[in-house]
């Protein structure tokens, strides 16, 4: 079976990934689950961008490193000027998205690297023990 790339992003450069405006939250990193979703979105935009596949482990490194400045991630944003409400529904905090990636793909510790993170029971989210 062929391994899927995981996600798709569009960038002008590694420092300038595609973002979307989310009402009440500001700018969020646009992350696509399928290449077709990215192509559809970019087809509506007046920019010269191409989607690029990103493995989950690469995305974790980017979100903890050079893309850590993005507080929110929007999955499969909807094209169009009036898509703000849909962007709000499809957005999550970067740390929550990182926790999902880490758990789903077995990439080590959760996104919140500070403090003693533990699981109280198997199949439960990581919690911060104070």
Domains and CATH numbers, the chain: 7-128 (3.40.1350.90)
* pLDDT number for residue 130: 37
Alpha carbons 75 and 122: distance in angstroms, whole number: 27
Q: Which two tokens stand for residue 54?
A: 């990103």
Task: Place 16 in a pLDDT band, splitting at 50, 70 and 90.
Answer: confident
Residue 124 predicted with pLDDT over 70: no
pLDDT at 126 over 70: no
Q: In Å, how far are 40, 73, 95, 117, 122 from 67, measured between CA atoms? A: 23, 10, 12, 23, 30
The model's pLDDT over 31-64, given as tens digits with 9 standing for 90+, comes to 999 988 988 888 866 566 788 899 998 999 899 8
């Amino acid at each position: 079976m062929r391994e899927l790339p995981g996600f798709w992003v569009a960038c002008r450069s590694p420092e300038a990934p595609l973002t979307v405006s989310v009402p009440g939250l500001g700018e969020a990193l646009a992350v696509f689950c399928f290449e077709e979703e990215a192509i559809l979105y970019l087809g509506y935009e007046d920019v010269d961008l191409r989607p690029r596949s990103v493995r989950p482990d690469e995305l974790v490194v980017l979100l903890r490193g050079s893309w850590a400045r993005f507080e929110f991630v929007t999955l499969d944003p909807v094209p169009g000027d009036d898509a703000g409400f849909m962007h709000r529904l499809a957005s999550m905090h970067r740390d929550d998205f990182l926790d999902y990636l880490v758990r789903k793909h077995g990439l080590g510790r959760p996104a919140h690297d500070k403090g003693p993170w533990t699981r109280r029971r198997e199949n439960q989210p990581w919690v911060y023990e104070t």
